């Protein structure tokens, strides 16, 4: 199926064609591990995951890289405040990040690279930029010379014609109005970790890590580069400038940027303090699958306003899908020849919506329409076994990408299907042995996990989740 994606560089939805047919080289900017990730961060990572899983479902092989920013201005400030060595501080939040990613069922990149693991590569790359005349040293720091790269500003639509030549910016994050010669290497300062370099001890600026890792592991030309929309300027603009003068070819063919998760109309961010972590929400009893569902339900280029009511609705929608599947699996259906063609039409609509720049809302619409018509057919007794197989296959393809239907194993009420089945078997054995006290205790145990049991005459009891 032809895939179309919105490319920030061209400002158009374009047909997606990887450089190497059948293989996609894809880079995602990861987390700055100075704290737990918030669900705004995870909106971006869930969006990237839907993209990855959709590409895989279309038969494409992926080569994926994600960085972990474990040294930058914020990391150093926070580890100093906490009085903990940078590496140890970063390790705590890197582990938490990977755990949260797993609980949200986000496929880990094949290469997850810490910035501090590739500092010699960064130093070598900066050295080449200096030799090529694109960078220069001042007082032990090295800056990128903006005037050496006329294409600067193409990605963000920034016009740099009137910039003051030679003005410099030392911080990692800044606004468009402050576009200047930006820092590649920062000279040592008190209370900062340092590494050796030809310009004396120091540490890398933030922007260089992604350029160097992406070029080394996926270059010279990447098919996709992803991140939140706040990274367009200056981070991604700088990434392009750091790579293209040395490779002479486009760094990235298609730039993908995820829109913000908002709270009361403002970007969810650490700085504003208006954030929830995944842990905050699971502590309140929400399930990671419901969080993922909510984050995935709005197409990635639309802003998503987060509320707890919205998360309640996401949980309810998910329950509706799971209950429908329970009903379908357990229904006594007449056998029949061919499935109703409307089921294949729904499946095609779901996949076509995703192929159209990942329109997840429309894909979910197709799935809920299938639930609605199938429930009516179940009520009327017009659904047959071949239909059931076709519907289950549609849901399998849906969940290959959305990853929300399997119940969460590690939630507060967490109990896996395998555990439920084992307890059900134990209960059946107790009943067969007429040990009704034990059977009742097992029923209560299952109910406490939200499992409803339905005893059936002359057949094994059935169960479903509340
Ligand atoms: P950071 O650790 O700040 O570099 O952010 C990690 C990723 O999360 C980046 O791709 C950001 O663009 C993204 N991000 C940060 N805040 C939000 C938000 N409120 N909504 C969506 N993505 C975000
Ligand atoms: Zn990056």
pLDDT digits (tens, 9 = 90+) for 304-324: 999 999 999 999 999 999 999
Q: Which bound ligand lies closest to the C-alpha atom of 173? A: 1
Question: Do 405 and 419 share a domain, yes or no?
Answer: no
Confidence bin at 161 (pLDDT 50/70/90): low
Query: Best substitution site from 40, 74, 255 to test ligand 1's pocket, by max atoms within 8 Å of Cβ?
Result: 40
Q: Ligand 1 atom 17: the closest Cα is on which residue?
A: 40
Q: Are 259 and 301 in contact (CB under 8 A)?
A: yes
Q: Residue 41 Cα, ligand 2 centroid: separation in angstroms?
A: 13
Handedness of CA 217, 221, 223, 229 (dihedral sign): positive
The kind and range of the H/E element at 118 are none
Do residues 353 and 359 make contact, with C-beta atoms less than 8 angstroms apart?
Answer: yes
Which residues touch 187 (CB under 8 Å, ≥6 apart)?
Answer: 139, 140, 141, 199, 200, 201, 202
Q: Pick the residue whose CA is nearest to atom 21 on ligand 1.
A: 260
**Residue 181: what pLDDT?**
95
Q: Kindly give the interhelix angle for 436-448 and 417-432, rounded to the nearest 10 degrees.
A: 160
Residue with tokens 């930029």, as numbered in its chain: 129
Q: Of the candidates 237, 258, 279, which is a domain's last residue?
A: 258
- Beta strands 451-454 and 61-68 are unpaired
Separation of 361 CA from ligand 2 center, angstroms?
Answer: 28
Distance from Cα 235 to the centre of ligand 2, integer Å: 6
Q: Is residue 291 located within the same domain as residue 375?
A: yes
Instruction: Count other C-beta atoms under 10 Å from residue 68's C-beta.
Output: 21
In this structure, the strands spanning 111-114 and 261-263 are: unpaired
Which residues, judged by CB distance below 6 Å to any ligand atom, belong to the binding site of ligand 1? 29, 31-32, 40-41, 43-44, 227-228, 230-231, 258, 260-261, 267-269
Q: Report the nearest-CA residue for atom 15 of ligand 1.
A: 41
Residue 397 and residue 453 in one domain: no
211 CA to middle of ligand 2, Å? 8
Region of residue 139 (left: phi > 0; alpha: psi -120 to 50; beta: else): left
189 with 289, same domain: the answer is no
User: Which residues does 193 contact at the CB level (< 8 Å), separation at least 6?
Assistant: 71, 76, 86, 203
Given a cut of 80, is residue 278 above it in pLDDT? Answer: yes
Q: What is the pLDDT of residue 410?
A: 45
3-state secondary structure of 345: helix
Higher pLDDT, 208 or 170: 208
Q: Supply the residue whose CA is at minimum distance from atom 11 of ligand 1.
A: 228
Do 121 and 239 lie in one domain? The reply is: yes
Burial class (CB in 10 A: 0-12, 13-18, 19+), 20: exposed
Do residues 341 and 195 share a domain?
no
Give the separation between CA 348 and CA 356, rounded to whole angstroms: 12
Q: What is the CATH number of the domain that holds 163?
A: 3.40.50.620
Ligand sitting nearest the alpha carbon of 27:
2
44 and 85 share one domain: yes
Give the number of whichever ligand sits closest to the CA of residue 39.
Answer: 1
| Spacing, Cα 13 to ligand 1 middle (Å) | 23
Confidence at residue 441, expressed as pLDDT on a 0 to 100 scale? 84
Question: Of ligand 1's atoms, which has the minimum distance to the CA of residue 304?
Answer: 20
Provide the CA 320 distance to its chain's centre, in angstroms: 24
Task: Yes or no: say if 72 and 172 are a contact pair by the CB < 8 Å rule.
Answer: yes
> What's the 41 CA to ligand 1 centre distance in angstroms?
4
Instruction: With a cut of 60, say whether residue 105 has pLDDT above it.
Output: yes
Atom of ligand 1 nearest to the CA of 260: 20
Looking at the fold, whether 403 and 419 belong to one and the same domain comes out as no
3-state DSSP of 186-241: EECCCCCCCECCCCCCEEECCHHHHHHHHHHHHCCCEEEEEEEHHHHHHHHHHHHH
Domain shared by 252 and 273, yes or no? no
Q: Of 409, 426, 445, which residue constitutes the final position of a domain?
A: 409
| Closest ligand to Cα 42 | 1
Listed residues 382, 409, 436: the one ending a domain: 409
- Same domain as 380, residue 327: yes
Residues 372-401: pLDDT tens digits? 999 999 999 999 999 999 999 999 999 999
What's the mean pLDDT in 316-338? Answer: 94
Residues 243, 219 contacting (CB under 8 angstroms): yes
Strand 181-187, strand 202-204: pairing: antiparallel
Which is more confident, 465 or 256? Answer: 256
Q: Which atom of ligand 1 is nearest to the CA of 268?
A: 19
Q: Return the best residue to mutate from 44, 263, 265, 295 for the ligand 1 pocket (most ligand atoms within 8 A of CB).
A: 44
- Within 8-57, strands assigned E span 12-15, 23-28
- 161 with 252, same domain: the answer is yes
What domain count does the chain have?
A: 3
pLDDT class of 162 with cuts at 50, 70, 90? low
More confident residue, 37 or 446: 37
CA of 345 to the centre of ligand 1 (A): 36
Distance in Å, CA 228 to ligand 1 centroid: 5
214 C-alpha to ligand 2 centroid (Å) = 9
Residues 225/255, Cβ–Cβ less than 8 Å: yes
Strands 252-258 and 222-228: parallel
Question: 264: which residues sit within 8 A by CB, 6+ positions away?
Answer: 274, 305
For residue 401, what pLDDT is reported?
Answer: 98
Instruction: With 0.95 as the threshold, say if the pTM is over it.
Output: no
At 420, the pLDDT band (50, 70, 90 cuts) reads confident
**Same-domain status, 141 and 159:** yes
Q: 390 is in which domain, residue-wise?
A: 266-409
In sequence order, which residues have a C-beta less than 8 Å from that of residue 129 and are 6 or more positions away? 135, 142, 144, 184, 242, 245, 246
pLDDT band at 449 (very low <50, low <70, confident <90, very high): confident
- Distance from the alpha carbon of residue 463 to the mean position of ligand 1, in angstroms: 40
Q: Give the number of whichever ligand sits closest to the CA of residue 235.
A: 2
Please give the span between the terminal C-alpha atoms of the chain, in angstroms, as a whole number: 37
Beta strands at 181-187 and 168-169: parallel, antiparallel or unpaired: parallel
pLDDT tens digits, residue range 5-52? Answer: 999 999 999 999 999 999 999 999 999 999 999 999 999 999 999 999
Report the nearest-CA residue for atom 5 of ligand 1. 31
């Amino acid at each position: 199926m032809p895939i179309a994606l919105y490319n920030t560089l061209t400002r158009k939805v374009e047909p997606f064609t990887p450089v190497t047919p059948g293989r996609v080289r894809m880079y995602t900017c990861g987390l700055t591990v100075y704290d737990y990730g918030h669900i705004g961060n995870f909106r971006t990572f869930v969006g990237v995951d839907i993209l990855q899983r959709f590409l895989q479902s279309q038969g494409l092989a992926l080569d994926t890289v994600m960085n972990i920013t474990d040294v930058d201005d914020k990391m150093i400030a926070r580890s100093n405040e906490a009085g903990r060595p940078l590496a140890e501080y970063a390790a705590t939040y890197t582990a938490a990040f990977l755990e949260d990613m797993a609980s949200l069922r986000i496929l880990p990149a094949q290469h997850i690279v810490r910035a501090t693991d590739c500092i010699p590569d960064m130093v070598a790359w900066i050295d080449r930029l200096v030799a090529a005349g694109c960078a220069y040293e001042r007082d032990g720091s090295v800056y990128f010379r903006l005037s050496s790269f006329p294409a600067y500003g193409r990605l963000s639509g920034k016009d740099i014609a009137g910039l003051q030549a030679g003005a410099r910016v030392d911080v990692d994050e800044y606004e468009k109005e402050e576009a200047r010669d930006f820092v590649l290497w920062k000279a040592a300062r008190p209370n900062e970790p340092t590494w050796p370099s030809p310009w004396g001890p120091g540490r890398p600026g933030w922007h260089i890590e992604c350029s160097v890792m992406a070029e080394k592991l996926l270059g010279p030309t990447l098919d996709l580069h992803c991140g939140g929309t706040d990274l367009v300027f200056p981070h991604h603009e700088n990434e392009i400038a750091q790579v293209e003068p040395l490779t002479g070819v486009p760094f990235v063919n298609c730039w993908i940027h995820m829109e913000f998760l908002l709270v009361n109309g403002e970007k969810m961010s650490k700085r504003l303090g208006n954030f929830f972590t995944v842990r905050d929400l699971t502590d309140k009893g929400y399930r990671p699958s419901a969080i993922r569902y909510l984050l995935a339900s709005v197409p990635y280029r639309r802003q998503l306003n987060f509320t707890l009511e919205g998360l309640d609705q996401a949980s309810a929608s998910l329950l509706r899908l799971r209950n429908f599947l329970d009903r379908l699996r357990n229904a006594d259906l007449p056998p029949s020849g061919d499935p109703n063609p409307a089921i294949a039409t729904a499946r095609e609509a779901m996949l076509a919506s995703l192929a159209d720049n990942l329109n997840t809302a429309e894909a979910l619409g197709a799935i809920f329409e299938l639930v609605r018509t199938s429930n009516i057919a179940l009520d009327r007794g017009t659904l047959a076994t071949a239909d059931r197989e076709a519907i289950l296959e549609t849901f399998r393809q849906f969940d290959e990408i959305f990853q929300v239907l399997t119940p969460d194993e590690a939630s507060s009420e967490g109990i896996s299907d395998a555990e439920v089945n084992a307890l059900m078997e134990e209960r059946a054995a107790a009943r067969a042995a007429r040990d009704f006290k034990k059977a009742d205790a097992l029923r209560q145990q299952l109910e406490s996990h939200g499992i409803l049991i339905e005893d059936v005459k002359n057949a094994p009891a059935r169960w479903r989740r509340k």
